[in-house]
């Protein structure tokens, strides 16, 4: 048997994961964890209504084993691995899921579906589910933050396997030795993902998050069966395979006192995160326009200057609803045309609208390197709209709404929950579900709680 000497940073991480209690979380970390769970559920349900997801659910469950875990938005039940796979995949279809600029990805939708499935399956307490989500989120985010993952790699389906695994293992009360093997094993079970998929409009991108939940729970099962990981599987992947560097000490820097989960953001627009900064600048501009509307036919050009990650979303040849969520020119044109953000400006009917497509072509999006230098602490963008006749309107964003320095109001997050949930479940079910999730610590048995809802 080879020597299994583990590095100190991983010992610290495994000890922390195994021993942490809910009382160790800061108030902000606990609140964010609660809202991340609540936000994910209707986002998944809405994404599950896409035709491709409905077909996948039918075909996958026809061959899957029986189980009692929600397939959210399909009113079906499945085994934990299958539920994590399907719910995670649906959760990114509408690009409405929570994320974290400091973790450089979207931890929540990679962790929550797996954690919820396990909590239902074993009848875990609500406070244990809350803690498991927070720990899975935190540990995986710290690993990703400490690495220099190549920009060509999409963050979904990579570090999320670790987060889903840790959450599931915490609910199953793994000790530190099991956590060590779990973290090392799950680190090597991610995908070779392509960031270009979002630019190309390739919906295969959505399986990445489903993969995180499925393979994270598979890692739990492997360790339960006696499988082992490398001595430092985390470094092998995040320091050598998909990354150009890995700072081991940074993984545990401030562990237990600095909570990355408390720095997460929630989305009020169903588009890629970097486009939110541009929408904020547009909203700033429209707030100065009488009536808050502009005549699409009178717009001569739209000039946008942005940090690099926003400027890369410049595709104008938009042909599908999914692709529209990653095009700044299309997003601006469609929101101006509709007079509001929301789901409608990014549905296929909007993509097929010739007026929106024509305005899309009149958007000039470019990087401002001085803006890029201020990212991620700030996310600066300017939008300048020139009308026929010479009138100019301007708006700007410095910090994107939803970031820690500019958080959304709780009533805005609640409104999103009901806007997505009510069309599927009706007011009373949506209200009861929201109320229960807002008091998740009081749930004695999450499986019994879940049995009260047909989602």
Q: What is the pLDDT along the chain (455 residues), one digit of tens a residue?
A: 345 789 999 999 999 999 999 999 999 999 999 999 999 999 999 999 999 999 999 999 999 989 999 999 999 999 999 999 999 999 999 999 999 999 999 999 999 999 999 999 999 999 999 999 999 999 999 999 999 999 899 999 999 999 999 999 999 999 999 999 999 999 999 999 999 998 888 999 999 999 999 999 999 999 999 999 999 999 999 999 999 899 999 999 999 999 999 999 999 999 999 999 999 999 999 999 999 999 999 999 999 999 999 999 999 999 999 999 999 999 999 999 999 999 999 999 999 999 999 999 999 999 999 999 999 899 999 999 999 999 999 999 999 999 988 999 999 999 999 999 999 999 999 999 999 999 999 999 999 999 999 99
pLDDT for 19 = 98
- pLDDT for 1 equals 38
What's the pLDDT at 267? Answer: 96
Helix axes 80-90, 27-47, angle to 10 degrees: 80
Q: What is the pLDDT of residue 3?
A: 55
Q: Residue with structure tokens 């695994």?
A: 165
pLDDT at 323: 95
* Cα–Cα distance measured from residue 264 to residue 301, given in angstroms and rounded to the nearest whole number: 34
Closest CA to 144 of 78, 111, 100: 100
3-state secondary structure of 352: coil
Write the CA distances from 246 to 11, 15, 195, 240, 375, integer angstroms.
17, 21, 20, 8, 20
Token pair listed for 90? 């649906």
Q: Supply the pLDDT for residue 369.
A: 98
In angstroms, the Cα distances linking 399 to 95, 144, 278, 341, 376 are: 20, 23, 11, 19, 9
The per-residue pLDDT for 404 is 87
């Amino acid at each position: 048997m080879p020597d299994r000497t583990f590095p100190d940073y991983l010992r610290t991480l495994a000890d922390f994961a195994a021993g942490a209690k809910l009382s160790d979380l800061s108030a902000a970390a606990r609140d964010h964890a609660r809202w991340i769970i609540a936000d994910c559920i209707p986002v998944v349900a809405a994404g599950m209504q896409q035709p491709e997801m409905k077909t996948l659910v039918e075909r996958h469950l026809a061959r899957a084993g029986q189980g009692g875990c929600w397939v959210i938005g399909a009113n079906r039940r499945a085994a934990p691995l299958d539920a994590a796979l399907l719910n995670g995949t649906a959760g990114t279809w509408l690009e409405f899921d929570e994320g974290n600029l400091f973790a450089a990805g979207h931890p929540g939708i990679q962790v929550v579906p797996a954690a919820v499935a396990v909590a239902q399956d074993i009848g875990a307490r609500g406070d244990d589910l809350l803690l498991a989500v927070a720990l899975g989120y935190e540990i995986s985010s710290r690993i990703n933050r400490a690495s220099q993952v190549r920009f060509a790699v999409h963050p979904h389906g990579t570090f999320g396997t670790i987060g889903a695994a840790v959450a599931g293992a915490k609910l199953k009360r793994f000790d530190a030795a099991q956590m060590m093997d779990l973290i090392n094993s799950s680190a090597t079970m991610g995908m070779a993902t392509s960031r270009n998929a979002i630019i190309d409009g390739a919906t295969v991108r959505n399986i990445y998050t489903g993969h995180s939940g499925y393979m994270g729970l598979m890692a739990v099962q492997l360790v339960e069966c006696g499988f082992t990981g490398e001595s430092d599987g985390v470094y092998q992947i995040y320091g050598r395979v998909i990354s150009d560097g890995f700072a081991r000490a940074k993984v545990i820097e401030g562990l237990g006192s600095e909570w990355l989960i408390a720095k997460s953001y929630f989305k009020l627009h169903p588009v890629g995160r970097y486009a939110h900064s541009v929408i904020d600048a547009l909203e700033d501009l429209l707030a100065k326009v009488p009536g808050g509307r502009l005549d699409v036919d009178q717009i001569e050009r739209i000039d946008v200057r942005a940090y690099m990650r926003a400027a890369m979303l410049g595709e104008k040849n938009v042909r599908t609803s999914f692709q529209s969520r990653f095009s700044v020119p299309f997003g601006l044109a469609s929101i101006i045309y509709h007079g509001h953000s929301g789901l409608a400006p990014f549905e296929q009917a909007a993509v097929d609208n010739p007026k929106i497509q024509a305005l899309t072509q009149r958007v000039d999006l470019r990087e401002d390197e001085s803006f890029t230098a201020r990212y991620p602490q700030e996310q600066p963008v300017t939008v300048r709209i020139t009308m026929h006749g010479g009138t100019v309107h301007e708006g700007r964003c410095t910090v994107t709404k939803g970031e820690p320095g500019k958080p959304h109001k709780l009533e805005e997050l609640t409104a999103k929950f009901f806007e997505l949930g009510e069309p599927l479940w009706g007011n009373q079910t949506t209200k009861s579900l929201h109320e229960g999730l807002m008091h998740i610590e009081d749930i004695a048995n999450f499986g019994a709680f879940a049995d009260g809802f047909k989602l």
